[in-house]
C-alpha cells in the first residue's frame, strides 16, 4: 500500500457572484450648429492654433481634436426606431434556421427608451447551424471616421456562435475588412450590452457597406459551418467624423486619443508635443497619451508636407488633469502561499523585491519591514526603505509585516501585507477567506472532476519562487473518488509537475500516478492523497501541477477535486477542454469566476548564505594562511567548491548540516605582487553564494590603538574628524577602503581610521 503524506484542513464551503461598471472622461465640446454632417462636408476644428511660419495657398494647416463618442459628429446613424421593419436598402440573407428581425430588447444600451433593435438568433440544434448576414445600404466615409455600435450578447455562447462586423467597397467580393469580432469580447460573460468601436480611417472618402455576420463559434473553427444556439441584438450604429473641441478634463491615468485633422496635400510628418504627458512627444499621426500629475497642459502639433511647408497649431491649457488620493498597493515577487498561514511564502535570507502597484499615481513611497512576534503580538522594525521599489531579506523565520505608505498632493494611503519566511512546507494558492468546494455542472458532471464537457485535465499555476525550490511531491484533496466498474477503479489519475510555456502548461518534468481505488477522498478535508516525486526536481520559474486521467470517466464514476469558491480575481486554475488549455476565469460566467485548486506541492527553498550575517569577504595578508567562514545552506553544498584562482581553495569537507564552517586556504603572495582577488563560490546546485577572497600586503600602520580622547566623531557606520581633516579608513588587516572628510564603512566591524598622525581602532555599528 502507498505511503500517504496526509495534511489536515478544516475549510467551510460557499460560493458568491459580483458585477462591475465603467465610466467615461469628462470633456468640453465646442459649440456647433446643424445636424449630422454630410460625407463630403468639411469639418472645421476650433484649434485656436498658432502658425509657426507663413503659409502658401497650397501649404498645410495644422489642427487636431480627440476621439470620443461625445466629441465626434454623426455622419451616418441607424437606431432602428424610425420603422417597424428592416431599414430600406438593407439586405438580410434568407436562411432556413437563422432569421433577422427587429425586436424589443430586454434592456437599453443608453438612458433612452429602446423599443427596437436588429436581432438575430440561431437554431438550438448543432446540425442546423448556419452563416447568415445583414448588410447596410451604401454610406460615405469621412476622414478619420469611427464606427460605433452596441451589441447585446453573452460571451458564454462563444463556443457556438459569433458576430462579425466587416466593411467593403465592392459588395464583399474582394475588398473585405473585419472591423470587430465578438470572440474578442471581454468583461462579464453573461449577456449584456457591449460598446463596439472600430476605425474606418482606411476607407476615408470612399463608399462602403457594413455587414453583420452571424457565424461559427470556437467549436467550429476547423470546419466553419456556421453558428447556432446563441443570439445577438445590434443597435445604436453610428459612423462618426471628428468634432470640434477646445479642451478636455480627465483624471490622472485616463488615456486621450488625439486625432490629426490637419488640411493640405501630402502631409508627410507629424511632431506632437505633450508637456507633462506620457509620452511627452510623438511622431505618430494619431497618438495616445495620459497624465499622472494635476495641472493644465498645452498641446502642440506641427505638420510638414512633401514640399517642406510647415504649420503648427498650439492649444494652451488644452488638457485639465485632476488627480485623486492614492490607494496603496504592493506586489511581491511571488504569489503562492504558505499553507499554515495562507500568507505569501518567501525564502529566508534571500533578497526579495517589493514593488509599488498603487493606484492614483503617488509621488512619495515608504516601506517598513517588521518582524512579528507571535507571542507578544508586537512588530519589531527591522528595516525601512524609500522609493517605488524596495529589496529586503528576512533574517528570521515565520511572519513579517510589510507596511507600504504612499502619498500625493491629494492624500496618503497605507497597505499592509504579512509574509511567511519559511525554508520548507506545503504551498497553496488558496487565499484568506477562501472556502473549499466543488461545482455541479448540472447533469454534465462535476467541476473540477470527471464530466461530459470534454474537460480531460486540470492544472494549477504556481508563480516563480523567490529562490529555487525542490519539490518532493504534491498533496491533492479529492472531494470524491469512487467507481462502480472494475475498469474504472483501476484507471490511473496522474499528477505531473510541468513547466510553463507562454503561460500554459508545458512539458512534464516528473510524474506520479495512483489508481482511483487508491485515492483518499473526504467530505470534510480530513485527508489528502500524496503523489511523491522521488527524483526531487528543483524549479526556479513559473510552473504547473497538472492532474489528468478524466478522459473516459463518465457514468457510475465520481472523481472530483476541491477548489476555492469562485472569487473576483487571482485565478490560478486551467482546464484542458476541446484539446486546448483554457483559463477558467475566461470560461465560466463573469462576476466571480476565479478559483484555485486545492493541490499542495511540498517544497524546500534552496537558500545559501552567511550563517552569521557577516560580509562575504575574507582578507589575507601577504603570508596567506587559513581562515574560516560560517556558511548556511538548507540543501547542503556541493564539493569541490569552485575557486576562480589556484592560489586559494576550500580545504574542509561538508558536515552534512545546514550550518557548516568552510576552511579557506590562501597561498603567500608571489614576488612582485602587492594585491590580488579571487572568488570562492559555494553552491547547492541551484543557488550560489560568492565569497570574495582578497590578499594584500600589510599597510605601514603598525601601532594603531584605541584612543577615547580622539578627535574622530562616529555616526553609525560613518566617521569624520572634528577638525574636518581628511580621514582614511582601513580594514583591521590594513587594506585601505576610502578617504575623505567623511568615510563610511561597508559593514559593521572593527576598522582602523587615520587622520594626520593619529591612527585608532574603532568599532563601527549600525544605529
Give pTM, 2 decimals. 0.76
Q: In this structure, are residues 27 and 227 in contact, taking their beta carbons and an 8 Å threshold?
A: no
Place 5 in a pLDDT band, splitting at 50, 70 and 90: very low
- Average predicted confidence (pLDDT) for the chain: 88
pLDDT at site 733 = 65
Name the least confident of 51-65, 198-212, 406-420, 445-459. Answer: 51-65
Place 588 in a pLDDT band, splitting at 50, 70 and 90: confident
Beta-carbon neighbour count of residue 676 at 10 Å? 16
pLDDT at site 707 = 44
Measured distance CA(669)–CA(329) in Å, rounded: 54
Residue by residue, DSSP assigns 533-561 as -TT--EE-S-EEEEEE--TT--TTEEEEE
| Residue linked to cell 560613518 | 718
| Residue linked to cell 457565424 | 215
Q: Which three cell numbers stand for residue 269?
A: 510628418
Please, is 754 exposed, middle or buried when counting C-beta atoms within 10 Å of its C-beta (0-12, 13-18, 19+)?
buried
pLDDT at 11 over 50: no
Q: Which three cell numbers stand for residue 208?
A: 462602403
Place 714 in a pLDDT band, splitting at 50, 70 and 90: confident
- Residues whose CB is less than 8 angstroms from the CB of residue 376 and which lie 6 or more positions away in sequence, other chains included: none
User: Rounded to the nearest 5°, which phi and psi values hold at 220?
Assistant: -120, 25
For the stretch 262-301, pLDDT in tens is 999 899 999 999 999 999 999 999 999 999 999 999 999 9
User: Rounded to the nearest 5°, which phi and psi values hold at 201?
Assistant: -60, -30
Q: In this structure, are residues 644 and 678 in contact, taking their beta carbons and an 8 Å threshold?
A: yes
Amino acid at each position: 500500500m502507498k505511503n500517504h503524506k496526509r495534511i489536515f484542513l478544516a475549510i467551510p464551503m460557499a460560493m458568491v457572484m459580483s458585477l462591475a461598471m465603467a465610466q467615461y472622461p469628462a470633456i468640453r465640446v465646442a459649440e456647433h450648429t446643424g445636424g449630422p454632417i454630410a460625407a463630403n462636408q468639411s469639418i472645421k476644428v476650433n484649434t485656436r492654433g498658432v502658425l509657426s511660419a507663413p503659409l502658401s495657398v497650397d501649404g498645410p494647416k495644422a489642427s487636431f481634436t480627440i476621439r470620443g463618442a461625445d466629441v465626434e459628429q454623426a455622419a451616418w446613424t441607424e437606431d432602428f426606431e424610425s420603422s417597424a421593419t428592416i431599414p430600406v436598402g438593407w439586405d438580410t440573407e434568407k436562411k432556413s434556421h437563422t432569421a433577422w428581425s427587429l425586436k424589443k430588447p430586454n434592456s437599453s444600451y443608453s438612458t433612452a427608451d429602446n423599443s427596437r433593435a436588429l436581432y438575430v438568433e440561431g437554431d438550438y440544434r448543432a446540425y442546423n447551424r448556419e452563416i447568415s448576414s445583414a448588410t447596410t445600404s451604401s454610406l460615405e466615409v469621412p476622414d478619420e471616421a469611427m464606427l460605433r455600435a452596441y451589441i447585446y450578447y453573452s460571451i458564454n455562447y462563444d463556443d457556438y456562435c459569433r458576430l462579425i462586423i466587416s466593411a467593403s467597397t465592392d459588395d464583399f467580393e474582394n475588398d473585405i475588412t473585419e472591423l470587430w469580432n465578438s470572440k474578442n469580447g471581454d468583461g462579464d460573460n453573461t449577456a449584456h450590452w457591449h460598446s463596439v468601436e472600430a476605425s474606418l480611417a482606411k476607407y476615408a472618402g470612399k463608399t462602403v457597406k457594413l455587414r453583420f455576420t452571424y457565424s461559427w463559434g470556437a467549436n467550429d473553427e476547423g470546419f466553419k459551418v456556421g453558428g447556432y444556439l446563441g443570439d445577438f441584438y445590434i443597435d445604436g450604429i453610428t459612423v462618426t467624423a471628428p468634432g470640434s473641441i477646445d479642451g478636455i478634463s480627465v483624471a490622472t491615468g485616463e488615456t486621450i486619443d488625439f486625432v490629426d485633422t490637419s488640411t493640405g496635400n501630402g502631409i508627410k510628418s507629424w511632431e506632437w508635443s505633450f508637456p507633462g504627458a506620457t509620452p511627452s512627444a510623438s511622431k505618430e499621426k494619431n497618438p495616445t497619451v495620459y497624465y499622472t500629475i494635476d495641472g493644465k497642459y498645452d498641446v502642440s502639433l506641427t505638420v510638414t508636407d512633401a514640399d517642406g511647408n510647415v504649420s503648427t497649431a498650439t492649444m494652451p491649457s488644452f488638457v485639465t488633469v485632476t488627480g485623486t488620493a492614492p490607494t496603496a498597493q504592493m506586489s511581491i515577487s511571488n504569489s503562492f502561499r504558505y499553507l499554515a498561514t495562507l500568507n505569501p511564502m518567501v525564502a529566508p535570507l534571500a533578497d526579495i523585491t517589493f514593488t509599488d502597484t498603487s493606484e492614483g499615481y503617488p509621488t512619495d513611497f515608504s516601506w517598513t519591514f517588521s518582524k512579528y512576534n507571535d507571542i507578544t503580538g508586537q512588530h519589531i522594525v527591522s528595516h525601512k526603505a524609500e522609493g517605488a521599489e524596495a529589496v529586503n531579506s528576512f533574517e528570521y523565520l515565520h511572519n513579517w509585516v510589510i507596511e507600504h505608505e504612499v502619498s500625493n498632493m491629494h492624500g496618503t494611503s497605507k497597505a499592509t501585507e504579512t509574509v511567511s519566511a519559511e525554508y520548507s512546507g506545503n504551498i497553496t494558492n488558496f487565499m484568506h477567506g477562501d472556502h473549499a468546494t466543488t461545482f455541479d455542472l448540472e447533469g454534465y458532471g462535476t467541476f473540477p472532476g470527471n464530466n461530459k464537457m470534454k474537460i480531460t485535465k486540470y492544472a494549477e499555476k504556481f508563480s516563480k519562487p523567490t529562490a529555487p525550490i525542490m519539490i518532493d511531491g504534491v498533496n491533492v484533496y479529492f472531494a470524491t473518488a469512487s467507481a462502480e466498474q472494475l475498469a474504472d477503479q483501476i484507471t490511473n489519475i496522474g499528477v505531473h509537475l510541468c513547466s510553463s510555456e507562454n503561460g500554459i502548461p508545458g512539458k512534464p518534468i516528473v510524474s506520479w500516478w495512483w489508481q482511483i481505488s487508491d485515492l483518499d477522498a473526504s467530505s470534510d478535508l480530513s485527508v489528502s492523497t500524496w503523489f511523491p516525486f522521488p527524483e526531487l526536481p528543483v524549479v526556479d520559474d513559473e510552473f504547473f501541477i497538472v492532474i489528468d486521467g478524466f478522459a473516459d470517466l463518465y457514468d457510475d464514476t465520481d472523481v472530483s477535486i476541491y477548489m476555492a469558491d469562485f472569487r473576483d480575481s487571482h485565478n490560478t486554475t486551467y482546464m484542458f477542454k476541446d484539446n486546448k488549455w483554457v483559463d477558467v476565469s475566461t470560461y465560466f460566467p463573469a462576476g466571480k469566476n476565479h478559483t484555485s485548486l486545492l493541490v499542495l506541492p511540498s517544497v524546500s527553498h534552496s537558500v545559501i548564505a552567511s550563517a552569521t550575517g557577516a560580509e562575504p569577504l575574507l582578507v589575507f595578508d601577504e603570508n596567506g594562511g587559513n581562515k574560516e567562514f560560517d556558511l548556511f545552506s538548507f540543501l547542503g553544498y556541493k564539493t569541490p567548491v569552485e575557486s576562480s584562482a589556484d592560489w586559494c581553495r576550500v580545504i574542509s569537507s561538508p558536515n552534512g548540516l545546514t550550518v557548516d564552517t568552510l576552511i579557506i586556504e590562501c597561498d603567500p603572495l608571489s614576488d612582485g605582487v602587492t594585491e590580488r582577488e579571487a572568488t570562492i563560490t559555494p553552491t547547492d546546485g541551484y543557488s550560489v553564494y560568492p565569497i570574495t577572497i582578497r590578499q594584500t600586503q600589510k599597510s605601514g600602520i603598525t601601532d594603531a590603538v584605541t584612543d577615547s580622547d580622539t578627535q574622530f566623531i562616529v555616526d553609525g557606520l560613518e566617521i569624520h574628524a572634528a577638525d574636518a581633516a581628511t580621514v582614511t579608513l582601513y580594514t583591521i588587516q590594513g587594506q585601505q577602503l576610502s578617504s575623505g572628510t567623511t568615510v563610511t564603512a561597508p559593514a559593521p566591524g572593527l576598522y582602523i581610521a587615520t587622520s594626520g598622525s593619529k591612527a585608532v581602532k574603532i568599532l563601527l555599528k549600525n544605529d
